[in-house]
Structure 1
Amino acid sequence: MNAHQYRAMREFIQSMDDTLPGNFEITKEGIVHDLVGPNGRHELTRARIRKRLEKVMPEDLVAHTGTPDVEDVPEGIMRHPDVMLIAEADMEGDGSFDPRTLIAAVDVVSRSNPDNDWVSKVRDYPLLGIPLYVIFDPRTGSGAVLSDIHETPIGPRYATRKDFVYGEDVTIADWTISTTDLPRYSQG
């Protein structure tokens, strides 16, 4: 993707933000549109993770769940993690956050587009230099912590994966939180 194509996609997303439902992101393959906005269980999971992290992290760090996105224009990638662990000082300024300032990105798997979290973001976050990626999957009551970026013939990838199931404690960077009482998607 060249710079012109990326700018065109970015402008398209900005023009669609209030027009179409769902979330837009830009990957190496183009625009990802999750048609279905997050449901209550997704949002509750995100809120509980944020609260639990902020109880154990130093005050100058934030488990941020809002906007803006993280973006690397030269890579042609714009992503929006559900929770971003970032220093308050790195949130100053205008525009997207520099992904290399994130301590970790945390995502709650979307019921309607799980491959976005389990495949595309697993590929894109190391390219962005995000050192730690944590996935919570309410479909299965499990997740994974991905870390240790290393170079491969097809680009940077996470070398280490630690799986967990809901009910276990999970360590994200230097902080351990409980996964007890995280909601699951209903099986219907």
Structure 2
Amino acid sequence: MTTAPDPLRCDSLRYRAMRDIVEQVQDSVPGKLEITQDGIVHDMISPGGPHELTAARISRRLEQVMPDDLLAHTGTPDVEDPHAGVMRHPDVIVIAEADMETEGSIDPRTLVAAIEVVSRSNPDNDWVSKVRDYPLLGIPVYVIFDPRTGTGAVLSDIHPTPAGPRYATRKDFLYGEEITIAEWTISTDRLPRYS
């Protein structure tokens, strides 16, 4: 008698194999490696000045208006849900300080928001893949800043669809406007653009 393979176990093994590859090669390749349900994403170019400055300014502006027990954190660690088969590395995460007191990856369901600055080399990663992955991970607010065009979007209100969870609300903005991320309003003035 032959038994069919368990699809959840196959997915779990596939994810573990991809996770092992990322851990082995991340320090030896330029850029950033992330895992999606489609496979490993490699953003080949390390973020440069405008990208990093945008993330830093957004982080600083949020921390000026948020309560002291919340952080707008840039840098490591990753957010990861092995059951969903996704490991991402947002440019900025809004999270309670207490929820960062953990070893390894952050549980994405503890995030208040994830913020991405669009990569010059792989914009679809932020505008397409993460728009799909972040509601799947339960991240309630996803904000995109695009230095290529001086535009962005705030996505929120996760709802179920036949294709999986999706954001129901999208508010587009132009650099220079004020935007609201979760409960906090900040300016998008003086954010750098790619030349």
Whole-Å separation in 2 of the counterparts to 1:147 and 1:93: 26
Tell me by how many angstroms 1:151 deviates: 0.3
TM-score by length of 1: 0.98
Q: 2:35 aligned with 1:15, yes or no?
A: no
Q: 2:166 aligned with 1:164, yes or no?
A: no
SS at match of 2:28: coil
Amino acid at match of 2:150: G
Instruction: Please name the residue that 2:5 is paired with.
Output: none
Larger Rg: 2
In the alignment, which of 74, 78, 81 is matched to residue 83 of structure 2? 74
Q: 2:106 aligned with 1:108, yes or no?
A: no
Tell me by how many angstroms 1:66 deviates: 1.5
Over the aligned positions, Cα root-mean-square deviation in angstroms equals: 0.7
Runs of 4+ in 1 over 4 A off after TM superposition: none
Question: Deviations 1:60-90 (Å, cap 9, x if unpaired)?
Answer: 0000111110000001000011000000010
Instruction: Please name the residue that 1:24 is paired with.
Output: 33
Tell me by how many angstroms 1:106 deviates: 0.3
Amino acid at match of 1:50: S
Structure 1 residues not aligned, in runs of 5+: none
Q: 2:67 aligned with 1:58, yes or no?
A: yes
In the alignment, which of 126, 132, 155 is matched to residue 146 of structure 1? 155
Whole-Å separation in 2 of the counterparts to 1:41 and 1:68: 21
Amino acid at match of 2:20: E
Amino acid at match of 2:11: N
Tell me by how many angstroms 1:4 deviates: 1.1
Tell me by how many angstroms 1:13 deviates: 0.6
May I ask how many residue pairs the two structures share in their alignment?
186
Q: Write the mapping of 1:84-99 to structure 2, written as runs, cut at 5 A.
A: 84-99=93-108
In the alignment, which of 46, 49, 61 is matched to residue 58 of structure 2? 49
Structure 2 residues not aligned, in runs of 5+: 1-9
In the alignment, which of 126, 132, 136 is matched to residue 127 of structure 1? 136
Whole-Å separation in 2 of the counterparts to 1:12 and 1:173: 35
Tell me by how many angstroms 1:93 deviates: 1.5
